[in-house]
Chain A
Amino acid sequence: DTEVTQTPKHLVMGMTNKKSLKCEQHMGHRAMYWYKQKAKKPPELMFVYSYEKLSINESVPSRFSPECPNSSLLNLHLHALQPEDSALYLCASSRFGLAENIQYFGAGTRLSVL
């Protein structure tokens, strides 16, 4: 099983709302990632968790708050977003600390901020 599951698939929210994106994997991977992808652009890394600890934050605004409650689950909490935050949010996971660490991606959450 090489599946990364993201929920919800689509999300529409207002600028004052609080919502969360969820990502789950059961491959025993200890590295998990959040990416943001705008239309016709490559994914941009936002956060990396290694062994449930935040190891990389690519200077993401604080209105995005990641959380890794256990080794299988990754959340992204959203608050006071702007319309320019509308994008496809992708989660990925990989084995940790190996040269051959293929990243497996979920199908993404399409976020629209009104």
Chain B
Amino acid sequence: KQEVTQIPAALSVPEGENLVLNCSFTDSAIYNLQWFRQDPGKGLTSLLLIQSSQREQTSGRLNASLDKSSGRSTLYIAASQPGDSATYLCAVRPMGETSGSRLTFGEGTQLTVNP
């Protein structure tokens, strides 16, 4: 059974700092890995999706990497801002799923960026 772990569970940094969030998964047979952001009481916003054949994806100040063989992904946030404060979730899509997409989520990292 696929298990996804995110470290740390919570992180507090001063504004302007570069930071890394970690995600690990136990089964490397995945189609892709997706990073989401969730603000308190709100839905999930997709940030980046990395296909299993890719090594990284970038969007603005965000960069996500994937090392499928070792079962790890990182989300790098450059020059953090208070508006980046949220919970960040990673989710993997297992191979073999053709009818829809069963995602397995990690527990999330709660990020606070202090002004």
Contacts and interface: CB of A to CB of B under 8 A. Distances in A.
Interface of A: 4, 6, 31, 33, 41-43, 45, 48-50, 55-56, 88, 90, 92, 94, 96-97, 99-108, 110
A41 B110 CA distance: 11
Contacts of B44: 43, 90, 92, 103, 105
A99 to B, nearest CB: 5
A105 B91 CA distance: 13
Contacts, number: 68
Interface stretch (B14-22, B64-72, B78-86, B95-103): B95-103
A55 B99 contact: yes
A103 B101 contact: yes
For the complex of A and B, list the 10 residue pairs with the smallest distance between their C-beta atoms, beginning with the closest: A42-B105, A48-B100, A55-B99, A105-B43, A105-B44, A107-B43, A31-B100, A50-B99, A108-B43, A50-B100
B31 interface: yes
Nearest to B93: A101
Contacts of A110: 41
Contacts of A42: 89, 91, 105-108
Contacts of B89: 42
Given A42-B89, A100-B49, A108 B42 contact: yes
Given A42-B89, A48-B102, A107-B42, A102 B34 contact: yes
Nearest to A4: B43
